[in-house]
Amino acid sequence: MKPTTPDKIRNVALISHGGAGKTSLAEAMLFDAGAITRLGTVEAGTTTLDWDPDEQKRGQSINLAIGSIEHEGTRITIVDTPGYADFQADVVEALAAVDAVIVVIDASAGVEVGTEEVWKLADARGLPRLIFVNKMDRENANYDATLEQLKARFGPKIAPVYLPIGSADTFRGYVDVIEEHATVYENGKPSEVPIPPELEGIEHSRRDAMVEAAAEASDELMEKYLEGAALTDAEIEAAMHKGTREGSVVPVFVGSATKNIGVRELINMIVKHVPSPAEVGTRATVDGKEITPDPAGPFVAQVFKATADPFVGRLTYFRVVSGSLNGQGHVYNVNRREEERVGNLLAVQGKDQEHIAGVGPGDIAAVAKLSTTAAGDTLVADRTQSVELPALTFPAPSLQVAIEPESKADLDKLGQALHRLAEEEPGVRIRREEGTGETILTAMGDAHVDVIVDRLKRKFGASVRTATPRVPYRETIRQAARIDNKYKRQTGGHGQYGHVVIEFAPAEMGTGFSFGNKIVGGVVPKQYIPAVEKGLREAMAEGVLAGYPVVDLHATLVDGSYHTVDSSEMAFKVAASQALKKAFDAASPALLEPILEVDVVVPDEFMGDVMGQITSKRGHVLGMDSADGLQHLKAQVPQAEMFHYATELRSITQGRGRFSWKVDHYAEVPINIADKVVAEAGRNGHGSERGH
Q: What is the mean pLDDT of the chain?
A: 92
**77 Cβ contact partners less than 8 Å away, ≥ 6 residues apart:** 9, 10, 11, 12, 66, 67, 68, 98, 364
Res 310: pLDDT = 67
- Tell me the C-alpha distance between 475 and 543, whole Å: 7
Is the same domain home to 287 and 372? yes
Res 313: pLDDT = 76
pLDDT at 87 over 80: yes
- Residue 393 resides in a domain: no
CB 500 within 8 A of CB 576: yes
Task: State the pLDDT confidence band at 679, using cuts at 50, 70 and 90.
Answer: very high
CB 409 within 8 A of CB 401: no
Q: How many CA atoms lie within 13 A of 639 on its CB side?
A: 24
Q: What is the mean pLDDT of residues 17-33?
A: 96
Nearest 5°: phi and psi at 11?
-115, 115
* Predicted TM-score (pTM) of this structure: 0.90
What is the DSSP secondary structure assignment for residue 391, as one 8-state letter?
A: P
- Residue 682 resides in a domain: no
Is the same domain home to 331 and 423? no
What is the CATH number for 647?
3.30.70.240
Angle at 123 between CA 360 and CA 216, to 5 degrees: 95
Q: What is the mean pLDDT of residues 98-113?
A: 97
Res 238: pLDDT = 87
Q: Position 459: which residue type? A: K
What is the CATH number for 432?
3.30.70.870
CB 339 within 8 A of CB 302: no
Query: Order of strands across the sheet with 162-165?
Result: 162-165, 173-176, 181-186, 189-193
Helix H segments across 252-340? 263-273, 277-280
Considering only CA atoms, which of 94, 162, 88 is closest in space to residue 127? 94
- Tell me the C-alpha distance between 206 and 200, whole Å: 10
- Residue 689 resides in a domain: no
Q: How many CA atoms lie within 13 A of 392 on its CB side?
A: 28
Q: How many CA atoms lie within 13 A of 239 on its CB side?
A: 24
CA 234 to chain CA centroid, Å, is: 42
- Residue 388 resides in a domain: no
Domain count, the chain: 5
Domain end marker among 442, 467, 492: 467
What is the CATH number for 287?
2.40.30.10
Nearest 5°: phi and psi at 290?
-115, 135
Is the same domain home to 39 and 108? yes
Is the same domain home to 242 and 216? yes
Domain end marker among 432, 448, 467: 467
**388 Cβ contact partners less than 8 Å away, ≥ 6 residues apart:** 285, 286, 287, 334, 335, 378
Provide the β-strand partners of residue 665.
595
- Residue 575 resides in a domain: yes
- Tell me the C-alpha distance between 439 and 415, whole Å: 10
- Residue 391 resides in a domain: no
CB atoms near residue 63 (< 10 Å): 22
Within 472-572, strands assigned E span 474-477, 481-489, 496-506, 513-517, 553-561
pLDDT in tens, 518-548: 999 999 999 999 999 999 999 999 999 999 9
pLDDT in tens, 319-363: 999 999 998 989 999 999 999 999 999 999 999 999 999 999 999
Task: State the pLDDT confidence band at 505, using cuts at 50, 70 and 90.
Answer: very high
Q: How far is residue 677 from each of residues 403, 591, 620, 683, measured CA to CA in Å?
A: 21, 9, 22, 10
**685 Cβ contact partners less than 8 Å away, ≥ 6 residues apart:** none
Task: State the pLDDT confidence band at 622, using cuts at 50, 70 and 90.
Answer: very high
**500 Cβ contact partners less than 8 Å away, ≥ 6 residues apart:** 484, 485, 524, 532, 557, 559, 560, 572, 575, 576, 579
Burial code (b: 16+ CB inside 10 Å, e: under 16) for 533-553 equals bbbbbebbeebbbbbbbbbbb
Domain end marker among 257, 276, 295: 276
Q: Name the more confident of 686 and 384.
A: 384
pLDDT in tens, 632-645: 999 999 999 999 99
- Tell me the C-alpha distance between 164 and 143, whole Å: 7
pLDDT in tens, 185-202: 998 889 999 998 888 878
pLDDT in tens, 208-222: 777 777 777 777 878
Is the same domain home to 598 and 583? no
- Residue 387 resides in a domain: no
Is the same domain home to 83 and 198? yes
Question: What percent of the chain is modeled with pLDDT above 70?
Answer: 98
172-177's contacts with Cβ under 8 Å and 24+ in sequence apart are: 172/261, 173/261, 174/253, 174/254, 174/255, 174/261, 174/262, 174/265, 175/199, 175/203, 176/265, 177/203, 177/206, 177/207, 177/210
What is the CATH number for 575?
3.30.230.10
CB 660 within 8 A of CB 649: no
**482 Cβ contact partners less than 8 Å away, ≥ 6 residues apart:** 501, 502, 503, 504, 558
- Residue 640 resides in a domain: yes
- Tell me the C-alpha distance between 613 and 610, whole Å: 5
Res 690: pLDDT = 40
Residue 270 domain boundaries: 6-276
